[in-house]
Every structure is written in structure tokens, then in C-alpha cells.
Chain A
Amino acid sequence: MSTTDLQLANEPQISAPLISIRDLKLHFDLGPDVRAGFRKLPSWMQIALFLVSVFLGGLAGMGIVAMLDRRELFITLVLSSVVALVVGSLVFYFLRAVMVRLVVGKAAHSIVKAVDGVSIDIQRGETLGLVGESGCGKSTLGRAILRLNEPTSGTVFYADRDLAHLSQREMRDHRRHLQIVFQDPYASLNPRMTVGQIVREPLETFKLAKGSAAEQRVQQLLETVGLSKRFSKRYPHEFSGGQRQRIGIARALAVDPEFIVADEPISALDVSIQAQIMNLLQRLQRDKNLTYLFISHDLRAIRHVSDRIAVMYLGKLVEVGAANAIYAEPLMPYTKALISAVPVPDPQIELSRRRIVLEGDVPSPINPPAGCRFHTRCPYRIEACEQVVPPLVEIKPAHFVACIRISPDQPNIESIAPGEAPGLAAASAIN
């Protein structure tokens, strides 16, 4: 890590970032929610719809009465009312679906806003740690950058091209430089391919090497990640989780990428193996000048590997800054709670620490809370938090926070008078 720091320090700060993400959004459309959409229709339409259904249902019932023998009064009555009910409700459901689709349209859809307006730069040679709780959209953000999930809107600039708007063919050429290491080392390797074939496949896809040259490259890659080259004839199931993760890393390295998204690469591994994989990733970064987006929910690991950290909550970045700054002095209430919740492997510290225990759970990303998305759990919330969406503001040099209750002049939320929101004016100006 120290070498990387040095390189970063020596580089002129004006150098363009490797990847520049602007207002990236990725929404998953779960389709129309007809029931919720119906409530959004104007009330006269709702009533009209209901009356039409009752009328048509009644008509069908009368038809039955007219058709049947009047003397069997009971059967006629039962049958006609059943038909009226069935026809009426079918008409109602059909018309409701049609009307919602026509009138309310997209507004009736349940949309998971997995990534909702993320802007961040990733500098060459750095490790950007992306941290957040499950369901906050951190993996989706990583996948959106590589277009493994199609972004809904926004731009991802890499090498002067907007990745988000490239054609599939153009994107494929860029994939050579952008690779990913997946979380689950069991699911991300094809069980029917040998390790050699797995690592070799990207070489052949991108026509980088053939025949014995490819063979040599595979062996060299296996050694780079700390595996014996004898392993190339074996199958993934013969390996432990940590070894499989090494295979996944070798596959990502095969094409000599510049940028690697490491999506929870250590979460599925044992403690003693986690350290091995973290060290391996750091060594490779030094040797090959790689840039990482390191995604993890493990706050201890992420601090260890990252130069800068971005904290994500329900699809938005809430705090971005140098790893040390974020841990030494978290500014956003959510980050404060997150960091205080990390168990420290030291009984003395654990006993004397003050832990901020948040109430409740992370809200659903379908129709997330308005205003600041964290306001439902925030101990410092005020009324304005429920309306104003806080922008990421540079509160301290290179330390960005999304919270209207603090400002560059008053960065410490604990020393701010109750009810005051020094960042509100700036936030309102942007909104």
C-alpha cells in the first residue's frame, strides 16, 4: 500500500481520472403494479370504471335470467348472480389493467432504484472501496460500470469514451481493460472446464495468444496468483474457496486489464484465507499498476485495502473520502453508526467503546424514502431531511458528505444546535 500511496502523491493531482462516473442510474423495472397504479387514477375515472364493470356484470346476469326457465327461480337467481359477479370482476380487472397502462403508464411501475444518481471519479492506480449494507446497490454499481447490467441513464467515461453508451461490439473491445472478480468462487467458475481452460478462455476470446504461447501464459498467470502450474489440468471442484478465488483472479488478469471490479472477493472465505487474498490483490496492484473498485460490506477489510472509500446507502453515495479520514472522523450519521458498529478484535477497546445502534432496518429500495434516504433511521433527523435530497458536498478537503445538517464551516453534527441545518441553503440551491 505504501508504494501506491507514494505513486499517488507523486502524480500531479490534475491528471485525469481513469474512470469518471456521472449521475449513473440503474433502475430495475419490476413491471406495473396495477393496484397501486389504480390509486393514482383520477377519482372520476375510478368511479366510472367501477360503474361500467357493475353495469356489464349486471347485463350478463340479466342475460342469464332471460335465457333460463323462469320457473326454476332459485337456480336462476344463483346462476345469474354468479355470472354477474364473475363477468363484472373480470371486466373490472381487465379495464383496470388497461386504464392503468394507458393513463398512469410508467408511474405505476415498481422500480428498484438500485443505483440512483452516482457520480465519482476513480483515479489511476488507486483502490476505491465501496461499502454499504446488503441491498444498497454497491454490487449493481460495479456491474453497471462494466455494463454487466445495463445502466438506465448517466455516463461512465473511460479512455475518452462513454462506456454507458457504447454498442455491444465496441463494449466488448473495452472489456479487455475492465475485468471483474466475483464474490462466489463456487458459482463463477464453469465446473466442466479445467483451470487451464478457464484462465485461457479470455486469451482466446481477445486473440491475445494461441497454442503453446497461451499455455505458457496460463502457467505464468497461475504462478502469479500463487497456484502451482500443475493445477491447470484439474477442475474447479478440486479446489478450496481461497484457491478458486485465486483462479478467478488469474482469469481476470489474463487480458492485462487496467481496472478490476473486485465484487466482495473475500466474503465467502475463511478468516485466515481472507488475509491471503487481500495481500495477493495488493501485491498485484503494485506489480501491475492496477486500479481497483473494491466492493465489500466488511468494514475492516475495506479500510485495509482502500485508499479512498465511498459509502453507499440505498442507491446513493452518502460519504466519499480518504480511507483514513473516513475512519478517523466519519461525518455523515450513517457512516458514524456503521464504523462504530464494527467489532474491534481487542477486548479493552470493545468494553470502552460507544456504539451507535441504529433503529430499524434498511428500507426497501422500491419506492425509497423521500428526501434523505437515511432519515428513517437517523438519530439527527429534522423535518427538512424528509423533503430535501442532500447533495454530496465537499465538507473538508477531498471529503464529501451528503447531509444537510452539516456544512464546511460546521462539519461536526454533534456540535450543531438542534433543528439547525447549515447545509440546507446549499442543498436547496442545487435542487
Chain B
Amino acid sequence: MTDANDNLLEVRDLRTYFDTDDGEVRAVDGISFTLKRGETLGIVGESGSGKSVTNLSIIRLIPVPPGRIASGEIVFDGVDLLSLKEEEIRKVRGRRIAMIFQDPMTSLNPFMKISRQIMEITRLHLGHSKTEAYEHAIEMLKTVGIPDARTRVDNYPHEFSGGMRQRVMIAMALSCQPELLIADEPTTALDVTIQAQILELIKTLKQATGTSVILITHDLGVVAGMTDHLVVMYAGKIFEQAPTAELFAQSGNPYTKGLLRSVPDPLKEQDELYQIPGLPPDVAHLPPGCPFAPRCYRAEEICTREFPPFVQLAADHFSLCHFAAEVFADSGEPAAAEQVTAR
């Protein structure tokens, strides 16, 4: 925060709206965060919380219409990405900011050999010749741990298993040595042992290349060991933002608390699991006050009436809650833990 040059990415008051038949959907509604060079930022949220739309907004892949970025700035290395022309953003996308998606099968072209798909990027962005690009593709496959890379490079995507396909995706994403890697649920479609492989791979590659990473996931276990900072999203807003260790140790938001406690700990035996009652909200029809109020154990009358403030709890720790300070101080159990209902 002290030195502006430390910040690789600054998102300021980003608002991405979609115009639908059902009215305006505020998928992302006024979020701000910064990512320092070499850091890993985790964005956690349930489906519909706006975490993927945030990611797509950063690389300007929001379909317009129906989507539009209503306001905000996305400053990447000193340049506002939202002010760039389409040709200019294309030079950033894939070259300086790369992405990995959840489902590697749908993001690879099934009719093209892996080699051509990786070569396409480096020939476009780095101006490689055919042979240079081919050798580079093999090199990248070796880096991500694909055995027998020289023969595998000429295979088609269907000839790879799910974990191997995700490795290919990572090889593609890193082939231009991007400064920022956005990984959107990179391990959700994979088995546990393969998930461990991929997470270890991202970790080691990040250390080797110094790439900053944004890791988007719904799994609190995954972010615990992978990230430096965390952003918790709900209904298109940031509910809590803190260094990872601090957020897990002392959360200042009822939603985060509930989320943390509703995941069974594999190392401990637990009695009944804490559950957040109710359902995630319909983002098209949000209540006037705090969007989490109907499900919140701490909610009072003011929560349904007024939108909560974004309270600073520590140097780098913010929470969107009327009672943030109290929740933060109360490191004990949420009051409602005892009266768990099935609803």
C-alpha cells in the first residue's frame, strides 16, 4: 500500500451489471482490492456471488450486451484496462494476464493438437517462429510435469486425462510468462489426489516465475494453504477482506464465520455441523439492507433497513457489517450455533 509500484493490480469500485428480462442484475457491485507483485489473492464465494464475473471483468471478457461495466477502474501495472481499446487489451490478455478455467475440456479446442494451441499463443504474442514455438511448447509441457512431452505435444485434448488437461491449460497460460495468472476454480472438476498435484504445481511455478496469482474458488481449504490475501464475496459485494492467516484466525464478518464453520474439518471429529440457514439470494432482487441479513445470526432491525458500512478492523482487514467490530472482538462461537434448525 505504501509504494504504488508494488501493486500489480488495483481494482477500484468495479461495478459489472447485466441487463436481463428480470431487470438489472448487479453481479459485481462496487468492489475494490489490490494485488501486490508476487502475491496470491484468493477470491472465495458461493455460486452467484460474482467471483467469476470479477475475473472476467478484469480481462474484459464480459459479453456486451447484456453485460456492461457500469463504473470502476482496473489499474494493471499503472494502466487502466477499462480505458484500453479492444486491440490494446488483446495484447495484454494472454500475454501479461493469463487465465485457467474450471473445465479444461471446454476451454481447449478438441480439433487442434495441443502443440498448435500452445504455439498459437507464443507465435502471436512473442513472435516466435514455427520451430521456436514448437520447442517452447515442449519446454512448457515439461515444466508442468507432463511425462514424455515430445510425443505428447502432438496429441489431441481428448487423449489427456482431466488432470493432464489442466496441466496443459497451465502450460498454455504460462507460456508467455504472464505477470498475472487468474485461476478460476482450477481444481473443482478434479479428484483429490489430482487436485493436490495441480495445487502443488501452481505453487512451485509461482515461486519459480514470480507470477502473481488470483485464485478463485468456493473451497476454503484450498485457499488456506495457497493464498496471502483473501476476499470473501457474497451477492456481488466484498463481505470481508484480510490477510489469509488473519481471516482464518479472527474473522470480523458473520458470513465468513458461518462459512468457515460449515466446512467439516478433516482432522477433527465434530458433532453437528454449523449451518448457515436459508438460501443464497437472488442477485436480481436484493433486499434493501444487508443482502446477508435474512440468513445472519447477528442480524438486527437496522440490517434489513440500511446497507452496512465497510469497516476497517485492522491495518489490512475490512468487513461489511453493521456489527463488524463486535463480531471481530467476539472470537467465540456464533450465538446461533446451538439453535441449528433444518431450514
Contact = CB atoms under 8 A, between A and B. Distances in A.
Interface of A: 1-2, 133-134, 225-226, 240, 242-243, 270-276, 278-280, 282-283, 297, 299-301, 303-304, 324, 327, 337-351, 353, 355, 357-358, 361-362
Interface in B209-238: 218-222, 224-225
14 contacts: A271-B218, A300-B265, A304-B270, A327-B266, A341-B192, A341-B193, A342-B221, A344-B266, A345-B224, A346-B265, A348-B245, A350-B221, A355-B200, A358-B196
B135 to A, nearest CB: 25
Contact of A338 (B193, B199, B262): B193
A343 B301 CA distance: 38
Interface in B267-309: 267, 269-277, 279-280
A279 B166 CA distance: 34
Contacts of B258: 272
A272 B248 contact: no
B224 A362 contact: no
Contact of B221 (A240, A274, A343): A343
Given A270-B280, A271-B263, A303-B264, A347 B273 contact: no
Main SS at interface, chain B: loop
A282 B46 CA distance: 23
Contacts of B279: 240, 242-243, 273
B260 interface: yes
A347 B199 CA distance: 15
A342 B259 CA distance: 18
A357 B200 contact: yes
Interface in B291-343: 340-343
B171 to A, nearest CB: 17
B191 interface: yes
Contacts of A271: 46, 218-220, 259, 262-263
B342 A351 contact: no
A229 B191 CA distance: 38
A156 B220 CA distance: 39
Contacts of B274: 275
Given A300-B263, A327-B267, A357-B193, 18 more contacts: A271-B218, A271-B220, A271-B259, A272-B46, A272-B276, A278-B264, A279-B275, A282-B272, A300-B265, A300-B266, A342-B266, A344-B224, A346-B248, A347-B225, A348-B245, A349-B224, A358-B197, A361-B164
Most buried by A among B193, B245, B248, B262: B193
Interface residues of B, number: 48
Contact of B342 (A273, A280, A347): A280
Main SS at interface, chain A: helix
A343 B224 contact: yes
A169 to B, nearest CB: 37
A343 B342 contact: no
A373 to B, nearest CB: 14
B245 A272 contact: no
B105 interface: no
A360 to B, nearest CB: 8
B161 interface: yes
B69 interface: no
A103 B24 CA distance: 69
Contacts of A243: 279
A344 B260 CA distance: 11
A361 B163 contact: yes
A388 B194 CA distance: 27
A362 B191 contact: yes
Contacts of A304: 264, 270, 273
Contacts of B224: 343-347, 349-350
B47 interface: yes
B340 A279 contact: yes
Contacts of A2: 271
B193 A303 contact: no
B175 interface: no
Contact of B275 (A275, A361, A362): A275
A133 B191 contact: yes
A279 B273 contact: yes
A344 B267 contact: yes
A351 B200 CA distance: 12
Contacts of A133: 191-194
B192 A272 contact: no
B195 interface: yes
Nearest to A239: B279
